[in-house]
């Protein structure tokens, strides 16, 4: 079968492409603004990708067209698709129909931490010899890819609440019908899709309604939004975890100096060295361990897998170090994620200074939903460069006025030159963006490598 994917370079759709290819289908696709790591993964798989959304790409009449949620009515390829009556569906619909129906689905949801938790869970099940299928919103360093069909009974999926397609405005995760569901946290996000937090919670509650009574929900105990969500109705046993003291129920996760511990009350139930950092990663690890138990993996085996887990690309990923300056790439773009990432950098990496390069690129940030929180989150950095993206609907310079260390840039070239000149021995430079950042990663690495002490 010839499967053609519109919007193939998004993390989710690139994963669908990898799974379809592994299942034996011929896979092609198209996108705009192709950038790593997904473009590299597709190239390695030998999947042909064309630039743009012109109608001519459908002249070969593929058997089915999988439509990404970046596609809208009015695009030439979409109008041709409909006029020619070519079979089409969304990515989640195709995955549910072709892959998930006969498998134990372990879904990881929440505003933050989905990619790392999903990656950890897939790694734990893989190390346990279960050969799971998985689809992650990033490339897992240890697994080498973002998605795999797998031959085992389990499928691990990052469960995104973003809408599905132009013809399906429900959340993607409503297609997955998980047996094991992780809810890490819930905050307001996706302001371009949802008018308020209540609308997001309605989608999550529809997801909760699909989890069978014989399944399991694993949730963070100290998230008020998750508490309210489940109070509205829950028909599935729940396990809880937290990283904060004073919580009497569930599991307490602790981390410090390269060691992770899991406790119930005062009892130590497991510990391991680990290669991650931050309370948020302690939450991610705990959620993955508890979910893996639902697949039959004992806690001890899960902890051994955690010890060897090296992380996910673009999740506080060390790009390199030159002349005493370390460069990290991170996907953080929501103020909460920025705050927690910078806290982890301070407490675990302990640089002399933290230099942040970021952009309010997401649709939510462009609309200004978190602009005040954005400035507060950045206040933890010693020096800040913010690239002003096109389409921003608020005054970035005015919002950052209270931060004397912040500089607003119109182009990446000025950021590269200024950061390279400002960085000194012992500094950590942390890039934060949910996009390609205009090739800044490679340019900044090159500039830091060439600079003189």
Please, which residues bridge with residue 252 across strands? 242, 263
Lowest-confidence segment of 19-33, 181-195, 240-254 by average pLDDT: 240-254
Pair 173, 156: CB distance under 8 Å = no
Element (H, E) at 39: helix 38-44
Under the banding of pLDDT at 50, 70 and 90, the label for residue 245 is: low
Q: Is 195 exposed, middle or buried (0-12, 13-18, 19+ CB in 10 A)?
A: exposed
Q: What is the pLDDT of residue 246?
A: 58
Residue 368 has pLDDT above 90, yes or no: no
Residue 179 has pLDDT above 70, yes or no: yes
Average pLDDT of the segment spanning 247-263:
82
pTM of the model: 0.81
Helices (H), 355-432: 363-366, 371-378, 396-399, 412-422
**Cα-Cα end-to-end distance for the chain:** 57
Q: Is the dihedral of CA 356, 357, 361, 367 positive or negative?
A: positive
- Backbone phi, psi, residue 389, to 5°: -80, 160
Please, which residues bridge with residue 2 across strands? 26
**Other CB atoms within 10 Å distance of the CB of residue 326:** 19
Under the banding of pLDDT at 50, 70 and 90, the label for residue 148 is: very high
Q: Is 123 exposed, middle or buried (0-12, 13-18, 19+ CB in 10 A)?
A: buried
Residue 443 has pLDDT above 70, yes or no: yes
Q: What is the pLDDT of residue 109?
A: 96
Q: What is the pLDDT of residue 35?
A: 65
Residue 38 has pLDDT above 80, yes or no: no
Residues 377-406 pLDDT 10s: 888 889 899 888 888 888 888 888 888 888
Residue 138 has pLDDT above 90, yes or no: no
Mean pLDDT of the chain: 89
Q: What is the pLDDT of residue 94?
A: 98
Lowest-confidence segment of 63-67, 245-249, 339-343 by average pLDDT: 245-249
- E strands, 163-291, are 163-165, 168-171, 180-183, 216-220, 238-242, 251-256, 259-264, 267-273
* Residue 78 in tokens: 């979409």
Query: Any residues with CB less than 8 A from the CB of 95 and at least 6 apart, and which?
Result: 16, 19, 135, 157, 175, 176
Tokens 């002490």 belong to residue = 453
Q: Is 100 exposed, middle or buried (0-12, 13-18, 19+ CB in 10 A)?
A: buried
Higher pLDDT, 290 or 364: 290
- Percentage of the chain modeled with pLDDT above 90: 54
Please, which residues bridge with residue 133 across strands? 155
Q: Determine the Cα angle at 151 with ends 146 and 155, to 5°.
A: 55
Picking from 28, 302, 70, 50, the residue whose alpha carbon sits closest to that of residue 166 is 70
Measured in residues, the chain has a length of 453
- Backbone phi, psi, residue 291, to 5°: -65, -40
Query: Any residues with CB less than 8 A from the CB of 437 and at least 6 apart, and which?
Result: 359, 387, 412, 431
Q: What is the pLDDT of residue 399?
A: 80
Q: What is the pLDDT of residue 452?
A: 62
Please, which residues bridge with residue 325 across strands? 322
| Structural domains of the chain, ranges and CATH numbers in brackets | 2-92 (3.40.50.720), 102-308 (3.40.1190.10), 317-450 (3.90.190.20)
* Residue 219 in tokens: 């949730």
| Distance (Å, whole) CA 326 – CA 341 | 15
Residues 56-107 pLDDT 10s: 999 999 999 999 999 999 999 999 999 999 999 999 999 999 999 999 999 9
Higher pLDDT, 398 or 165: 165
Q: What is the pLDDT of residue 247?
A: 53
Pair 281, 265: CB distance under 8 Å = no
Higher pLDDT, 285 or 437: 285
Q: What is the pLDDT of residue 250?
A: 86
Average pLDDT of the segment spanning 351-369:
82
Pair 348, 332: CB distance under 8 Å = no
Residues 213-235 pLDDT 10s: 999 999 999 899 999 999 999 99
Lowest-confidence segment of 90-99, 200-209, 243-252, 366-375 by average pLDDT: 243-252
Element (H, E) at 19: helix 11-22
Residues 40-59 pLDDT 10s: 888 888 999 999 999 999 99
Higher pLDDT, 376 or 1: 1
Q: What is the DSSP letter of 236?
A: S
Burial 83-93 (b: 16+ CB within 10 A, else e): eeeeebbbbbb
Under the banding of pLDDT at 50, 70 and 90, the label for residue 152 is: very high
């Amino acid at each position: 079968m010839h499967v053609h994917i519109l919007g193939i370079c998004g993390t989710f759709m690139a994963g669908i492409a990898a799974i379809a290819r592994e299942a034996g289908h011929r896979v092609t696709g198209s996108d705009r603004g192709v950038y790593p790591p997904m473009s590299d993964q597709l190239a390695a798989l030998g999947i042909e990708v064309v630039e743009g959304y012109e109608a001519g790409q459908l002249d070969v009449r593929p058997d089915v067209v999988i439509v990404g949620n970046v596609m809208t009515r009015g695009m030439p390829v979409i109008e041709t698709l409909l006029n020619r009556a070519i079979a089409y569906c969304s990515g989640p619909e195709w995955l549910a129909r072709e892959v998930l129906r006969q498998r134990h689905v372990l879904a990881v949801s929440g505003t933050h931490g989905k990619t790392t938790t999903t990656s950890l869970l897939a790694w734990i099940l893989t190390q346990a010899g279960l050969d799971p299928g998985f689809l992650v919103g990033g490339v897992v360093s240890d697994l080498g890819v973002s998605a795999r069909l797998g031959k085992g009974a389990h499928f691990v999926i990052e469960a995104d609440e973003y809408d599905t397609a132009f013809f399906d405005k429900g959340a993607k995760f409503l297609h997955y019908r998980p047996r094991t569901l992780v809810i890490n946290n819930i905050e307001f996000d996706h302001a371009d899709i949802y008018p308020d937090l209540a609308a997001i919670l309605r989608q999550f509650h529809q997801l909760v309604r699909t989890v069978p009574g014989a399944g399991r929900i694993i949730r963070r105990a100290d998230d008020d939004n998750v508490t309210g969500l489940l109070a509205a109705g829950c028909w599935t046993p729940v396990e809880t975890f937290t990283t904060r003291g004073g919580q009497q129920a569930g599991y307490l996760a602790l981390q410090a100096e390269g060691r992770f511990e899991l406790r119930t009350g005062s009892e130590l139930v497991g510990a391991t060295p680990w290669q991650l950092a931050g309370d948020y990663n302690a939450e991610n690890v705990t959620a993955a361990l508890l979910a893996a138990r639902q697949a039959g993996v004992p806690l001890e085996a899960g902890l051994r897998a955690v010890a060897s887990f090296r992380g996910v690309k673009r999740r506080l990923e060390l790009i390199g170090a030159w002349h005493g300056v370390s460069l990290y790439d991170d996907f953080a773009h929501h103020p909460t994620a920025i705050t927690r990432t910078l806290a982890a950098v301070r407490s675990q990496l302990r640089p002399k200074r933290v230099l942040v390069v970021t952009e309010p690129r997401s649709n939510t940030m462009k609309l200004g939903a978190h602009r005040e929180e954005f400035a507060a989150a950045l206040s933890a950095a010693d020096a800040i460069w913010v690239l002003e993206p096109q389409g921003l609907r608020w005054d970035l310079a005015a919002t950052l006025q209270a931060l004397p260390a912040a500089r607003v840039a119109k182009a990446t070239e000025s950021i590269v030159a200024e950061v390279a000149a400002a960085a000194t021995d012992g500094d950590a430079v942390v890039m934060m963006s949910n996009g390609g950042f205009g090739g800044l990663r490679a340019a900044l690495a090159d500039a830091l490598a060439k600079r003189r002490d």
